[in-house]
């Protein structure tokens, strides 16, 4: 049976071009970047070239990029690092109710350490209120962290306006852009972003590699102690092959961004139209406008989400009910409940996220399979 993959928000395959660029750093170019001899210098040079490629994707300086092990580490390092370095100025942080667990749990951890956190509500489409953001700012607010685009319903926040508000009050602005990088245009300088997190395996690089941007001049505490790697901000021998892969993936994403976005958006809109017309009672979660180009999230009343996924899997279809990072929980999605969905509809959700290899024929097969499975489950 052919496997049709529709869960690119959970992870992506490693592109052949990315893997080809990585392979030498597992074998003949295996030197430690901290070593002074030639194969060590070779690894160090490869890291710096990759740093430039990542910075080019988001419009910052290469020395503002720090490599990590994943998006979660990037979020932890940016948020905790900023909080610890600026606690004498204040201990108040603002975020939203629909953040990824890497941000929510980091903020909850800081609350146990004496920080105060305001969790902004969102409307039924997943947008924060700029007015509520303004009203939540206090004299001791040191950080605003709002995700660029939501991993479950694809809502893209008004990032430039959020950054403007933060700048007006001299507050640092961080954004979790794990789902956005490589899917939509980002320029941190033009948008006024002070710090940003990204992850390799969301944009066709391998798992186990991430990065974050921190604007020059913003103080932050290091998260891992040890050696002096990453300008003494992230200790540990670098994952050279992973870093090279991330750099290559970012380079490809930058070059192909316009055509990639167009491809994803065409598939998404076609899928939404087919589901809306053919499956009675289907409910699109989130907004049509300001949505990630490859994201569609539906609820199907009277259908159990887990049973839906298992039956689709039997037909060779890979999709999800929400974030892969919370799939072990029996609770309804915190994102769907935050936008006002009752528990039964939150439990009946399906997230479909498209990638470069998906075709219109794949979408037709997915829609037909959905029709058959939903009819079966309702009976």
Q: Choosing from 60, 107, 181, 325, which is the catalytic residue?
A: 325
Question: First and final CA of the chain: distance in angstroms?
Answer: 26
Candidates 371, 321, 344; CA nearest to 6 is: 321
Radius of gyration of the chain from Cα atoms?
Answer: 21
Rounded Cα distance, 22 and 189, in Å: 30
DSSP string, 252-274: HHHHHHHHHHHHHHHHHHHHHHH
Backbone angles phi, psi at 211, to 5 degrees: -160, 160
Rounded Cα distance, 170 and 165, in Å: 9
Active site residue 325: yes
Alpha carbon 347 to its chain's center: 22
Token pair belonging to 31: 């030197």
Candidates 46, 55, 132; CA nearest to 95 is: 132
Q: Just list the catalytic residues.
A: 325
């Amino acid at each position: 049976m052919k496997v049709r993959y529709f869960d690119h928000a959970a992870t992506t395959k490693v592109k052949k071009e990315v893997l080809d660029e990585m392979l030498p750093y597992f074998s003949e170019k295996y030197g430690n970047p901290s070593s002074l001899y030639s194969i060590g210098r070779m690894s160090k040079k490869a890291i710096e070239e990759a740093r430039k490629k990542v910075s080019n994707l988001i419009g910052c300086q290469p020395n503002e990029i720090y490599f990590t092990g994943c998006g979660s580490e990037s979020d932890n390092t940016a948020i905790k690092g900023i909080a610890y370095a600026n606690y004498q100025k204040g201990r108040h942080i603002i975020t939203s109710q629909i953040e990824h667990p890497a941000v929510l749990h980091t903020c909850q951890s800081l609350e146990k350490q004496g920080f105060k956190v305001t969790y902004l509500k969102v409307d039924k489409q997943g947008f924060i209120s700029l007015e509520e953001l303004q009203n939540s700012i206090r004299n001791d607010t040191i950080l605003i962290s709002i995700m660029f685009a939501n991993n479950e319903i694809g809502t893209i926040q008004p990032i430039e306006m959020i950054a403007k508000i933060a700048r007006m009050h001299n507050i640092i602005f961080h954004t979790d852009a794990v789902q956005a990088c490589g899917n939509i245009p980002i320029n941190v300088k033009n948008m006024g972003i002070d710090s940003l997190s990204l992850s390799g395996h969301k944009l066709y690089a391998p798992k186990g590699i991430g990065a974050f941007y921190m604007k020059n001049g913003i103080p932050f505490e290091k998260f891992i102690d040890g050696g002096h790697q990453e300008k003494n901000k992230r200790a540990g021998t670098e994952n050279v092959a992973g870093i090279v892969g991330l750099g290559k993936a970012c380079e490809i994403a930058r070059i192909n961004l316009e055509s990639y976005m167009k491809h994803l958006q065409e598939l998404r809109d076609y899928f939404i139209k087919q589901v809306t017309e053919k499956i009675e009672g289907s409910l699109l979660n989130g907004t049509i406008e300001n949505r990630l180009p490859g994201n569609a999230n539906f609820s199907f009343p009277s259908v159990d989400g887990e049973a839906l996924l298992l039956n689709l899997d039997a037909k060779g279809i890979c999709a999800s009910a929400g974030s892969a990072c919370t799939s072990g929980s029996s609770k309804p999605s915190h994102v769907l409940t935050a936008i006002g969905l009752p528990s039964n509809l939150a439990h009946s959700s399906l997230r479909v996220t498209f990638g470069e290899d998906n075709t219109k024929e794949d979408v037709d097969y997915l829609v037909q399979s959905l029709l058959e499975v939903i009819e079966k489950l309702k009976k």
